[in-house]
Structures are given as C-alpha cells and as structure tokens.
C-alpha cells in the first residue's frame, strides 16, 4: 500500500517490552515475508551503543523469545540487515537533533515512530520530533500503555501529542486487541447470524469477564505499585473486552465505524462512585501461597514494604442503554490466581416455563468464549439424560465445545504485536485505541478509585493461588449469580 511506512523508529529499543515482544514480533513478520523490502528499523534509547552491538542484542532477544521451531538464521540475518541504532536523550535538544539527522538520512517515505518508553517521555519526544520537522504528514506515532494514571494525566499526554500529531496519526496500543482470540470475538459476533438476535437484555441475564493471571508482579513492583489492577488491567484490557462484547454492530470493520461503537459503550457505563464502591467493587492483594504447586511470596514481601495497592479487583458494572439495561457485567482480574484464564461468559435467562417434572432441574444456557491460554467456544445446553426414569424425563447439562487450536491445527497463531505492527505500518487504526476511548475509560476508572479513597478502602488479603477475597464471591451471590471457575 502507498502509505506503508518504510522507516520504523522504536524509542525504548533496549527496554524489556522491546526485547520480549517487539523485536521478536518484527522477526515473526520478517520470517512470514510480511515486511516491505525497503523497511528500515532504527532503535533508539539512552545507552550509547553502535549498530553492531544493538544487532547482537536483537539477535539474542529473538533467539530467547521466539520458539525454536520458528527460528531460521536466514530470516534473522534479513531482519538484522534492516536494523540500525542511534542513542538519544529526549531531554537533550542537541542529542535529539543528531537523532533527527540520522532519521532524515534513513528516510525514504512514511515514518512510524513507536514510543515504548516511560509515558512521561511521550510528549517531550513528540515535541522534539515536531521541532525537527520530522512529525508532519507522512509520519505517525504508536504509543504504549499506560497513557497516564488518571484522566488529568492522560489528557495532558493526549494534548501534548496532539500538538504534533493529528489524531488519525496516533496509534494507541492495547495489546489485547492484537490477540487472535479477541479478534475472534468480533468474528463470532458479526460473522454469524444466530447470536446477534439473542445478544441483549431480553435473553442474557448477566455477563462475566475474567482475566486471571498466575504471575505476580515479576520485578515490576515499582511501576505496579503506583498502578494496581484497576489502572493496569481494568482501564484498558477489560474495558476493551467489555466494548467488543457489548457494542452495536459497526457498519464496517474499519477504524471509525468500530471505534464509534466502542466509545458509545464506554459512555454508557454507569458511574460507580463513593456511594457505590462498597457494594459494587471488591479489591484484594495476594499474600503468600501456592500457585501451580509452587510456593510464592506475598505482594508486600515481593515489594519489600507494606502497600495498599490492589492486585485483584472485581466489580459489578452496568451499561445503561437499550441493549443492556439491567444486565450486570461482572468484571474481575487478578494476579496469582489459580489458573491463567481470560474468558467472557454470557449467562442466558432461564426458560420461561418448565414442562418437565419439578425434579428435573433446568440450568440456564451459557456461552463461554475462552480467549487464552486456549481458544475455545463452549455452549452449555440441556439434554435428556439417557435411560428410563419413573419420575419422567430427566435432564442433564451438556456442552458443545469447540477447540479452535484443534480446529485450526495447521494455521499458526500469531503473537499480538505482529498484528499490531502490521496494521500500524500500513496505517490501519481499527485495532488501536482512540483518544476519546482512553479518556472515557479513565473517567470511569477515576470515579471508582476516588470512591475507594473517599471510603478509605484497603484491599483484602487473599492467598496466592486462590480466586481473590471471599467478598468477590459474595458480591455476585447477593444477586443470585456465581462466578464460573
Ligand atoms: C499488561 C499488564 O498490560 O498486560 C501486565 O501491564 C499483565 O501486568 C499483562 O501481566 C497481561 O497480558 P497477557 O498478554 O499476558 O494477558
């Protein structure tokens, strides 16, 4: 495509995300033959290093993070041949000017900047690029999360970036949108006619979205302790899943149509403020325990000091619109849970009237979309229990269970950043987050966090390897609902 970027500049190129995800994903695209022949990649960070040293680091990062079966020396060489490095400090105009010269010397067409630094550098970097005349038409910028820590700081970053890059040239990453399973949610909803008529308050009793992780904070304590589960996961990944689950059908799978529908969902979220947080939210922090048979320390021990940061949050959200009026959306996410599992579960309403013997229990239908680690779609149905019974026909719950990894056993599932890079390089923003989405999400999250503060709510302890504090279960059971485990 004509507006494909031919230069990718990665800021924060020696950082953890670059090493674990970004460079291995560029390798994946190279290996799959999906990078334009003319694409060059310029890494930049503060540490001084020559091209050869950086290339050796890239080779290490790729070898460490790409499965051996996908490693191919020729592809790696071809990737390295595209790569250069230039040290720069965004706070030092002199060094940015020299970086600008390097960028200009490598420029052959459109440029994609990828900011994978601490967010406090986003505005200074953009402003410096603007001042160097390197941010006009033909350039775009990809920003990592977190965009701010609340609405005010997010607005500041967005305003600063907007002074240099128009919104249609800003690509905010939520890596969940790059996941195969998440895109499959869109395929499932809008590639099938049978779900949409049932996908509303008339037929769905409640929705559950769980993003459970077994990992702890893994040496990221300094960042995580200023964040917590609400900002780190709920503000972005879970709310994006809510949007894709709840939105109206967009007219097309393209950036404006999809994001216009998502923002309507975010704006319809009922505010949970100081008066509601006690009953509608639960926070927790893991203590020592065992995950997968391994004994692990508690959060405060890992951090080396006591903390009031939540590593678990569960809440009961409502979307106040025609489609979802009265349907609770239970959302939960936590670290050090018993299993890694990301899933969306739609619980249908009970049959309106039972024609069977009162002893025959009819469980409501449920549709579960498991996004990771496996991808499965499970539909729970009632079926006749085979055999003879004096009491009449007996029923059992059975599952129609589709394992997508098995179904597509021969198609490779690609990591999220491969999809995201491919789209950003081509200038397709459908799977990126628009400014208004980020800000609407922060506004809603801020109200909850302010509510916790106003009520002096501290997270409840839960042992590592459990599903969070017992009150998270109580919150759903008060309404006659149960978390799926
Ligand atoms: C990141 C969070 O955005 O997502 C991490 O900062 C979290 O805390 C990660 O572990 C989860 O991503 P994934 O792809 O492993 O589900």
Distance 352 CA to ligand 1 centre (A): 41
Residues 6+ apart with CB under 8 A from 158: 147, 435, 438, 439
Average pLDDT, the chain: 96
Which pLDDT belongs to residue 2? 61
Distance 213 CA to ligand 1 centre (A): 8
Distance 174 CA to ligand 1 centre (A): 10
Instruction: Note the residue count of the chain.
Output: 485
Distance 232 CA to ligand 1 centre (A): 8
> What pLDDT digit, counting tens, does each position of 213-267 carry?
999 998 888 899 999 999 999 999 999 999 999 999 999 999 999 999 999 999 9
The protein residue with its alpha carbon nearest to ligand 1, atom 8, reads 232
Mutation test residue for ligand 1: of 233, 234, 335, the one with most atoms within 8 Å of CB: 233
Among candidate residues 303, 313, 315, the one with its CA nearest the CA of residue 337: 313
Distance 210 CA to ligand 1 centre (A): 13
Q: Which of 31, 206, 237, 345 is catalytic?
A: 237
Which pLDDT belongs to residue 108? 96
Which pLDDT belongs to residue 35? 97
| Contact between 328 and 207 (Cβ < 8 Å) | yes
Mutation test residue for ligand 1: of 237, 311, 373, 438, the one with most atoms within 8 Å of CB: 237
Which pLDDT belongs to residue 412? 84
Residues 6+ apart with CB under 8 A from 262: 240, 243, 244, 247, 437
Burial (CB count within 10 angstroms: exposed 0-12, middle 13-18, buried 19+), residue 274: middle
Helix, strand or coil, per DSSP, at residue 253: coil
Among candidate residues 330, 245, 231, the one with its CA nearest the CA of residue 280: 330
Which pLDDT belongs to residue 92? 95
ipTM score: 0.99
Is 114 part of the annotated catalytic residue set?
Answer: no
- pTM of this structure: 0.97
DSSP string, 265-302: HHHHBPP--TTTHHHHEEEEEEESEEETTEEE--HHHH
Which pLDDT belongs to residue 182? 95
Among the atoms of ligand 1, which is closest to the Cα of residue 220? 8
| Contact between 475 and 342 (Cβ < 8 Å) | no
The protein residue with its alpha carbon nearest to ligand 1, atom 5, reads 232
Which pLDDT belongs to residue 477? 96
Distance 452 CA to ligand 1 centre (A): 23
Distance 37 CA to ligand 1 centre (A): 32
Pocket of ligand 1 (CB under 6 A): 213, 232
The protein residue with its alpha carbon nearest to ligand 1, atom 2, reads 232
Mutation test residue for ligand 1: of 144, 179, 213, the one with most atoms within 8 Å of CB: 213
pLDDT < 70: residue spans in the chain: 1-2
Task: Name the DSSP letter for residue 319.
Answer: B
Residues 6+ apart with CB under 8 A from 348: 198, 203, 204, 205, 364, 365, 366, 367
Distance 109 CA to ligand 1 centre (A): 34
């Amino acid at each position: 495509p004509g507006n494909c970027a031919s230069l990718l500049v990665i800021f924060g190129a020696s950082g953890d995300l670059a090493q674990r995800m970004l460079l291995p994903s560029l390798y994946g695209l190279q290996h799959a033959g999906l990078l334009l022949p003319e694409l060059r990649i310029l890494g930049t960070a503060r540490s001084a290093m020559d091209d050869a040293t950086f290339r050796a680091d890239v080779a290490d990062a790729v070898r460490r993070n790409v499965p051996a079966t996908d490693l191919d020396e020729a592809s790696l060489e071809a990737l390295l041949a595209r790569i250069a490095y230039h040290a720069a400090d965004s706070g030092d105009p002199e060094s940015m000017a020299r970086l600008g010269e390097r960028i200009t010397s490598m420029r052959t067409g459109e440029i994609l900047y990828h900011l994978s630094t601490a967010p406090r550098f986003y505005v200074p970097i953009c402003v410096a690029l603007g001042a160097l005349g390197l941010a006009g038409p033909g350039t775009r910028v990809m920003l990592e999360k977190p965009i701010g820590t609340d609405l005010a700081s997010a607005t500041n970053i967005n305003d600063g970036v907007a002074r240099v890059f128009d919104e249609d040239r800003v690509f905010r990453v939520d890596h969940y949108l790059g996941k195969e399973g998440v895109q499959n949610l869109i395929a499932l909803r809008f590639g099938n006619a049978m779900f949409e008529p049932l996908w509303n308050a008339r037929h769905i009793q409640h929705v559950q979205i769980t993003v459970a992780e077994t990992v702890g904070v893994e040496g990221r304590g300094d960042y995580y302790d200023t964040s917590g589960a609400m900002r780190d996961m709920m503000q972005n990944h879970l709310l994006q899943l809510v949007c894709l689950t709840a939105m109206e059908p967009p007219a097309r799978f393209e950036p404006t149509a999809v994001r216009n529908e998502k923002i309507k969902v975010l704006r319809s979220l009922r505010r949970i403020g100081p008066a509601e947080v006690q009953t509608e939210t639960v926070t927790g922090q893991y203590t020592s325990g065992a995950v997968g048979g391994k004994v692990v320390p508690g959060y405060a021990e890992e951090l080396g000091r006591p903390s009031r940061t939540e590593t678990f949050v569960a809440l009961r959200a409502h979307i106040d619109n025609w489609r979802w009026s009265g349907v609770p959306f239970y959302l939960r996410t936590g670290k050090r849970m018993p299993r890694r599992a990301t899933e969306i579960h739609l619980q249908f309403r009970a049959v309106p009237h039972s024609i069977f013997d009162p002893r025959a229990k009819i469980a409501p239908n449920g549709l579960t979309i498991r996004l990771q680690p496996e991808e499965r779609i499970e539909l729970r149905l009632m079926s006749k229990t085979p055999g003879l019974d004096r009491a009449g026909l007996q029923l059992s719950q059975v599952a129609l269970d589709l394992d997508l990894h098995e179904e597509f056993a021969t198609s490779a599932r690609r990591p999220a950043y491969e999809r995201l890079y491919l789209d950003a390089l081509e200038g397709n923003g459908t799977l990126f987050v628009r400014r208004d989405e980020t800000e609407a999400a922060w506004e809603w999250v801020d109200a909850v966090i302010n509510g916790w503060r106003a009520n002096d709510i501290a997270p409840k302890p839960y042992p590592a390897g459990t599903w969070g504090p017992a009150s998270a279960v109580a919150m759903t059971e008060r309404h006659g609902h149960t978390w799926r485990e």
